Amino acid sequence: MNNYDIVVVGAGMVGAAAASLLARSGFSVAVIDQHEPRPFDASRAVGLRVSAFSPGSADILAEAGAWRQVERQRHCPYRRMVVEDREETSVLEFDAVEFGLDQLGTIVENELVQWSLWQSLLAMGGVEIFCPDQVSDLEYQDEGLLIRLESGVSICCSLLVAADGANSGIRKRLGIRQEHWEYGQQGLVTVVQTSTPNPGVAWQRFLPAGPLAFLPLKDGSSSIVWSLPEAEAVRLLESDEAAFLAELEQAVSGGENHWPGQLIACGPRAAFPLTMRLSERYTASRTVLIGDAAHVVHPLAGQGVNLGLLDAAGLVEVLVGARNRQLDFAGDKTLEKFGRWRRSEAELMARGMHGIKGLFMPEELGPLRRIGIGLIASSWTAKEAFIKRATGRNRNAPALARGTSLTELLHP
Ligand SMILES: Cc1cc2nc3c(=O)[nH]c(=O)nc-3n(C[C@H](O)[C@H](O)[C@H](O)COP(=O)(O)OP(=O)(O)OC[C@H]3O[C@@H](n4cnc5c(N)ncnc54)[C@H](O)[C@@H]3O)c2cc1C
């Protein structure tokens, strides 16, 4: 029988980062995923799924052994962030320099991060990978959990970490309910070439149907996420490139702050359903949920994977803390501490996104919106609080996101 301290189900960006950090902290770890990530190839065009990684997330990924590989390949730091109301009468701007930072974040393809983490897991001792495989049964035993895999292998562990994404089979198996916010919207994504190269600005405009974001890529093009009602998204996916670009041009044009310039071309298009979900709890006996398995937030603030990486770092901090005090790292008290901490952070984010979305969408809230943006724009304290959270370095963030190294965490 294979015996491990911790089994992580799901080696997406969040699960793989957690597994790497836990193994580097001295736990014996097994990872289960239904398929291997596709090898990253920098000669291919930029992938459709990119994320804005905060400096805090970059620190976590560095400790997980993946960031150097990311930096060597393809990423695009951004130093300015501009958020506009649809009429461009209210503009909120953030510049890294104002906050003494080199950058506000970096845009990276999800595939590259996942591949770099996978490489780091393969290169490491102390991690066993079961892939392709899936959990077929879970059984609680006196001292831990017995996990049966589809391949017929059985493994035992003290703690199960469910990082198996938004439709987490482990969460369903444990009967953990979720609060849902359904928007009937899709996020349309593509890569767009503009007449003026993107100058390293993450730009977002709130349109009546939902936010439209342009994220900078290394070659001067932009990766866009356009939130649209489902039928609109389907129509724009099916339209030809010229018709699509004409509608996108209309959505970005107007006002003095007009940035993206003329739209020249776009790559393949895809759309993803937009929802918000929050699990009623993050823990069950000897089990924790992290990443999208625990919460899904609206991509308007680009915080989904960042929140998941903070879960991974928070889990390591709590488990190592318990072990340092000779407590059971998989005991209820330890897991509840983690669950309360990370769930309250995700709830703040999910409700905040829901509130922002509610404030920005309706036409009749225009005056209120302008007052709100004006107040934030003129308040250094409000802007600083926003930036601390967006960079993953607020007071409640795990130590690994705030500059503490794994070595310092292990030997306080
Ligand atoms: C349009 C869009 C834009 C976004 N932009 C951003 C952004 O800019 N910034 C940001 O922070 N976030 C963004 N997000 C959110 C972000 O993509 C997710 O939060 C993140 O990918 C979740 O990672 P995860 O590892 O938790 O889950 P996943 O990536 O879903 O990984 C789950 C893993 O579990 C495995 N798995 C699933 N089921 C099983 C099973 N039964 N057995 C074994 N393995 C299993 C899967 O194969 C996969 O490897 C965006 C989301 C959308 C839809």
Distance 3 CA to ligand 1 centre (A): 28
Q: What pLDDT does residue 156 have?
A: 97
Query: Which ligand 1 atom lies nearest to the CA of residue 14?
Result: 25
In the predicted model, what is the mean pLDDT of residues 332-343? 98
Q: What is the pTM of this model?
A: 0.95
CA angle 154, 160, 166 (to 5 degrees): 110
> Per residue in 289-337, pLDDT tens?
999 999 999 877 778 999 999 999 999 999 999 999 999 999 999 999 9
Q: Ligand 1 within 6 A of 185 CB?
A: no
Q: What is the mean pLDDT of residues 69-75?
A: 96
Confidence grade of residue 110 (pLDDT, cut at 50, 70, 90)? very high
Stated length of the chain: 412
Atom in ligand 1 nearest the alpha carbon of residue 187: 1
What does the pLDDT look like over 220-242, one tens digit per residue? 999 999 999 999 999 999 999 99
Q: Does residue 147 have a pLDDT over 70?
A: yes
Q: How far apart are the CA of 12 and the centre of ligand 1, in A?
A: 6
For residue 225 and ligand 1, the question of a CB distance below 6 A is answered with: yes
Tokens of 258: 């007009």
pLDDT given for residue 176 in this prediction: 98
Average pLDDT over residues 12-36: 98
- In the predicted structure, residue 143 carries a pLDDT above the cut 90: no
Q: Which of 11-20, 58-67, 298-307, 394-403 has the lowest mean pLDDT?
A: 298-307
Q: What spacing in Å lies between the alpha carbon of 340 and ligand 1's midpoint?
A: 22
- pLDDT-based confidence at residue 1 (cuts at 50, 70, 90): low
Overall average pLDDT of the 366-375 stretch: 66
Q: 46 phi and psi, to 5 degrees?
A: -60, 135
Q: Can you tell me which atom of ligand 1 is nearest the CA of 107?
A: 8
| Maximum C-alpha span of the chain | 67
Instruction: Give, using CA atoms, the residue closest to atom 52 of ligand 1.
Output: 299
The overall average pLDDT reported for the chain is 91
The finding on whether 13 has its CB within 6 A of some atom of ligand 1 is yes
Q: What is the atom index within ligand 1 of the atom nearest the CA of 133? A: 43
Ligand 1 midpoint to CA 285 (Å): 24
Bridge partners of residue 271, in order along the sequence = 188
Of 126 and 173, more confident: 173
| Nearest-angstrom CA–CA distance, 113 and 86 | 33
Residue among 21, 32, 33, 48 to mutate when testing ligand 1 (max atoms within 8 A of CB): 33
Expressed in angstroms and rounded, the spacing between residue 259 Cα and the centre of ligand 1 is 30
Ligand 1 nearest atom to the CA of residue 271, by list position: 1
Question: What is the sign, positive or negative, of the torsion defined by CA atoms of 33, 347, 313, 101?
Answer: positive
Which residues, including other chains, have CB under 8 Å from residue 35's CB and lie 6 or more apart? 131, 132
Q: Whose CA is nearest to atom 29 of ligand 1?
A: 12
- Residue 314: CB within 6 Å of ligand 1? no
**Is the shortest distance between the CB of 5 and ligand 1 below 6 Å?**
no
Q: Is the pLDDT of residue 372 over 70?
A: no
Name which of 336, 372, 340 is nearest 356 in CA terms.
Answer: 372
- The finding on whether 304 has its CB within 6 A of some atom of ligand 1 is yes
* pLDDT tier for residue 384 given thresholds of 50, 70 and 90: confident
From the alpha carbon of 215, which atom of ligand 1 is closest?
8
CA of 309 to the centre of ligand 1 (A): 11
The verdict on the CB of residue 169 being under 6 Å from ligand 1 is: yes
